[in-house]
Structure 1
């Protein structure tokens, strides 16, 4: 199932972001630490490279992600020119307080009364941009919710006489190229539920957890995972929790939502859905096989 989700206001959000980019010094791109590349909007990269702006990549929700995978992603991003990456939890004021200084290091010529540091927060929906904005200001100025596309308008706020920040709406891109990215985004609640089928997303998540974190599944739900697939996981959750519909059939939708909620909240444990290695393997597998050259037919003797 290919998942696409692109609410109408995102077109105008992209246009406004492109206009604002001309007048900022550093792009703060907020990513979900559990799926950094799947939660990276290629349009943001396109806009900032066009304006030649450096980027602070914040791997948010790092407290929910696998620490080893997060470190691998930091190593991956910090090798890129004009990029600094850091793992944070934007809900922690102490973590958020580091952001301005990190941006200052990317634009050392700014940050005075005459030339204040101008930053812009960007990212896909529901990765924590508004939470970061509120933490930076130590007050609630941006609406926060556990639903994608809560912020719909751009806003600029002065942090001090020497720094200002612009918050932008979450922006998806029109076509998600890889199905697995769509499923990871849906599992992590970056895509609205109206665009997905919970059971299909939970089946994908179950398959991934069986492959990489079987012990966490077994520990949470108290069932043996050997020989299971994603569908079996959902059925077993329903049986263990006693989820039944009228007539006695298993309530698979309720079980799917339970699995997704336990992953999203961190109840299952610290889980990363991708690593640089698995990302590279996925991209290699998605490439079409090279066409074989046609065999030469020997010419007949004259």
Structure 2
């Protein structure tokens, strides 16, 4: 299975970002806290170069807090400042401007020593589609300054947005890369909704998530779907299908003859995952 995803507007977005780099002081990069590595575009490092960077682990309210804490420490060891946030509830959003100021502390202090009044910090906000950039901008601005949506590809162009006189944000469309070398990256992105469901079949995505959740979050599956137990070995496809059939029967996803409609059950399961109804789940761990 080869997943390719590079609409024309994403190609333009990359070129536009590179053109604006000379105007910005730092970059704010959003990742999804549930899949930090899979939800960051490896081209971003190449595009941004040595620009100071703040990483925001967004949707942290949906992720396993213990795993998120490990990611913050991992990124810190790599020399990157990282902050878990949730742009919908506002968790830690007020910490963003102070973190930006800290990253530019030397420059701001030098301007003050020269008797200059520091201008607003200019920051480029980047991330893959559907990672929550527009929702975050609206939360920071206290108004509907950016278009939001629960699907990839909502933001089509660039716009400058002033935040409380201290920060100016340049919003950009989400950028995915031309081809996923690791196909599991594409599946994880599809699991959280960053890739349109038409790209990868929902059953494939749901089966992948179940295969991960059985050893890591068995209780979450049992509690959500009132299951008494789970198969122990999911290295073969049959036990994964068995779990999905158990879920489908519990949720009434039956078809003619009393068999489970796996497509319907898979779609229901993914909707529960994305809505946080399975609890706080992370699908990547720093140690893996």
**TM-score higher than 0.5:** yes
Residue 255 of structure 1: aligned partner: 265
Q: How big is the shift at 1:2?
A: 3.4
Change (3 A) 1:270 1:200: same
Question: Quick check: which has more Rg, 1 or 2?
Answer: 1
Q: Tell me by how many angstroms 1:127 deviates.
A: 0.8
Q: Deviations over 1:21-62 (max 9, x none)?
A: 22111110000000001101111111112xx20110000111
- What is the match of residue 104 of structure 1? 101
CA contact (8 A) 1:202 1:230 kept: no
Which residue of structure 2 aligns with residue 84 of structure 1? 81
Distance 1:17 1:232, change over 3 A: same
TM (norm. structure 1) is 0.87
Contact 1:238 1:250 in 2 (8 A): yes
> Who is 2:43 aligned against?
43
Distance, in Å, in 1 between the alignment partners of 2:36 and 2:26 is: 19
Aligned-partner Cα distance in 2 for 1:241–1:94:
33
Which of 64, 67, 75 is residue 65 of structure 2 equivalent to?
Answer: 67
Q: Deviations over 1:252-297 (max 9, x none)?
A: 111001111111111101110011101xxxxxxxxxxxxxxxxxxx
Deviation at 1:244, TM superposition (A): 2.0
Deviations 1:80-124 (A, max 9, x none): 23x210111111346222211111111122497553311111000
Matches within 5 A, 1:28-177: 28-49=28-49, 52-81=50-79, 83-93=80-90, 95-108=92-105, 109-110=107-108, 113=117, 115-177=119-181
Cα-to-partner distance string for 1:229-270 (whole Å, 9 max, x where unaligned): 322222111111121234543211110011111111111011
Q: Name stretches of at least 5 consecutive residues in structure 2 with no aligned partner.
A: none
Q: CA shift at 1:160, angstroms? A: 4.1
Segment of structure 1 superposing worse, 264-273 or 227-236: 227-236
Contact 1:93/1:138, CA 8 A, preserved across alignment: no
Contact 1:33–1:62 under 8 Å retained in 2: yes
**Number of aligned positions between the proteins:** 275
Change (3 A) 1:240 1:92: closer
Greater Cα offset, 115-124 or 225-234: 225-234
Q: TM-score if structure 2 supplies the norm length?
A: 0.91
Is 1:232 equivalent to 2:229 in the alignment?
A: no
Q: Contact 2:59 / 2:85 at 8 angstroms: preserved in 1?
A: yes
Distance in structure 2 (CA, Å) of the matches to 1:113 and 1:129: 29
**Distance in 1 of aligned mates of 2:208 and 2:255:** 23
